[in-house]
């Protein structure tokens, strides 16, 4: 009861503050430098009408639960953007409710530095014209697919309802340094390589980076091409059958899948989590072009785990090839109404289900009632191909419709 009372008090205070300030508000805190705070919120709710099927053969554990149309768990985010100093900003993101955490839970807390005016140095100021530094617990900048995915209650970046079949998304304690010059961006990051702190002997650190070219050739013509890479090795901190430090690049999404109850799964229904391991390498390439109201986004990705248990008696190497494409057409100058489609496929190239694949087709539409309120509808059809008879995905399929309503401010 005490926990719920504390949450209610916090929410009441946030509501009162948000009513008092609709935009960035400056004030002086306990005699320190003047700071500015902006509060943001994202809320989403889905109505799902999906059905699933497989060929369970003689394995009773592969019998599917009956699912019927209904509402999914409502999700919400609360964000704070705090201007601490000229060029220094702190970002905080809190999950009010999610699939992994039905209670209030802090997802991100990090600082971003664009200027270092306190040094009073012309040399430092000139260097910082090209550099940005981010540090803290945050979503790592791997792949451009994260820029178009739904994140718990924050769903308006995604033109459809579901995310990609393989959904790279995790938060780690990390530092990222960005070098920006004209239309090019180069980023390098060093993180703990897992979603939580780890001081066990033999744990590794993740190295990752991104190179992007982003150019507006005309007012209505934009082209972007980016490449990302991520590598980590925790295998010196291993024991048999996966005990030890684990990487969560493809399974660290705390908000869960946008689909529920499929193939008796919990929070990851409809997704493929290729890596549950320790010696991980991944890269992703993303082209994007925008011509007027037409947007085309592409994805090609390869992921592998050389030894997920740190010893030869563990599970074998696992690897996947993943690709997909979005097409979005926004109608009219305001773009309030749009049509969207996506094709997405992933194939296991190494591992216990070698040559098995998953393919998904999504099609839908969205309409912004206001700049903050979005309604979406999606039809999805996903097939599981060439999985073994022992797998719950043997001859598997799910399809149907999902409706989603969201508010973001």
Calculate the dihedral angle through the C-alpha atoms of 368, 371, 372, 374, rounding to the nearest 10 degrees: 10
Distance CA 123, CA 128 (A): 9
Q: Is residue 359 part of a domain?
A: yes
Total domains present in the chain? 1
Percentage of the residues of the chain whose pLDDT score is greater than 70: 88
Number of separate helices (H) and strands (E) present in the chain? 2, 18
Residue 74 near residue 47 (C-beta atoms within 8 A): no
Please, which residues bridge with residue 364 across strands?
Answer: 340, 378
Q: Which two tokens stand for residue 55?
A: 């060929």
- Whole-number pLDDT of residue 308: 52
Residue 267 has φ and ψ, to the nearest 5°, of -80, -10
Neighbouring residues of 36: CB distance < 8 A, sequence distance ≥ 6: 24, 25, 26, 82, 83
Q: Is residue 400 part of a domain?
A: yes
Please, which residues bridge with residue 360 across strands?
Answer: 344, 382
Q: Is residue 256 part of a domain?
A: yes
Residues 347-387: tens digit of each pLDDT: 999 988 999 999 999 999 999 999 999 999 999 999 999 99
- Whole-number pLDDT of residue 52: 96
Calculate the dihedral angle through the C-alpha atoms of 188, 191, 195, 198, rounding to the nearest 10 degrees: 170
The mean-pLDDT minimum among 159-163, 172-176, 179-183, 193-197 falls in 193-197
Residue 164 lies in domain: 41-76+142-408
Q: How is 296-352 classified by DSSP, letter by letter?
A: EEEEEEEEEES-TTSSTTSPPPEEEEEEEEEEEEEETTT--EEEEEEEEEEEEEEST
Residues 289-341: tens digit of each pLDDT: 999 999 999 999 999 987 655 444 455 688 999 999 999 999 987 889 999 99
Quick one: which of 318, 368, 320 has its CA closest to 344?
A: 320
Q: Is residue 88 part of a domain?
A: no
- Whole-number pLDDT of residue 238: 61
Q: Is residue 266 part of a domain?
A: yes
Q: Is residue 123 part of a domain?
A: no
Distance CA 180, CA 91 (A): 21
Check which CATH number belongs to the domain holding 281 and give it. 2.40.160
Q: Is residue 324 part of a domain?
A: yes
The pLDDT-based confidence of 274 (bands split at 50, 70, 90) is: confident
Q: Is residue 376 part of a domain?
A: yes
- Whole-number pLDDT of residue 202: 79
Helix (H, G, I), strand (E, B) or coil at 89: strand
């Amino acid at each position: 009861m005490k926990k719920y009372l504390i949450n209610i008090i916090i929410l009441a205070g946030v509501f009162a503050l948000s009513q008092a300030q609709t935009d960035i508000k400056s004030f002086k805190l306990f005699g320190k430098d003047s700071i500015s705070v902006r509060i943001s919120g994202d809320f989403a709710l889905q109505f799902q009408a999906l059905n699933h099927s497989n060929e369970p053969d003689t394995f009773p554990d592969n019998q599917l639960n009956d699912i019927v149309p209904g509402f999914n768990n409502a999700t919400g985010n609360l964000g704070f953007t705090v201007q601490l100093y000229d060029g220094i900003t702190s970002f905080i993101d809190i999950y009010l409710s999610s699939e992994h955490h039905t209670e209030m839970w802090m997802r991100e807390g990090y600082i971003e530095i664009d200027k270092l005016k306190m040094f009073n140095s012309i040399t430092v100021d000139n260097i910082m014209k090209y550099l940005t530094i981010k540090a803290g617990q945050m979503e790592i900048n791997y792949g451009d697919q994260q820029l178009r995915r739904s994140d718990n209650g924050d769903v308006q970046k995604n033109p459809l309802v579901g995310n990609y079949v393989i959904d790279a998304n995790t938060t780690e304690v990390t530092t990222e340094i960005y070098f920006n010059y004209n239309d090019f961006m180069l980023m390098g990051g060093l993180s703990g390589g897992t979603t939580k702190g780890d001081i066990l002997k033999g744990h590794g650190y993740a190295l990752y980076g991104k190179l992007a070219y982003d150019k507006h050739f005309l007012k209505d013509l934009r082209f972007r091409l980016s490449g990302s890479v991520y590598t980590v090795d925790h295998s010196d901190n291993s024991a048999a059958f996966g005990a030890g430090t684990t990487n969560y690049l493809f399974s660290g999404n705390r908000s869960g899948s946008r689909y529920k109850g499929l193939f008796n799964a919990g929070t990851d229904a409809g997704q493929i989590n290729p890596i549950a391991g320790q010696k991980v390498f991944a890269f992703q390439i993303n082209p994007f072009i925008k011509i007027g109201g037409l947007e085309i986004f592409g994805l090609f990705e390869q992921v592998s785990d050389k030894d997920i248990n740190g010893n030869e008696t563990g599970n074998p190497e696992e690897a996947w090839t993943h690709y997909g494409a979005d097409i979005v057409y926004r109608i009219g100058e305001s773009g309030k109404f749009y049509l969207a489609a996506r094709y997405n496929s992933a194939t296991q190239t190494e591992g216990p289900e070698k040559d098995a694949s998953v393919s998904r087709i999504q099609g839908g539409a969205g309409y912004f009632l206001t700049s903050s309120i979005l309604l979406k509808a999606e039809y999805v059809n996903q097939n599981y191909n060439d999985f073994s008879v022992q797998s719950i995905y043997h001859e598997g399929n799910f399809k149907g419709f999902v409706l989603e309503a969201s508010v973001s401010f």
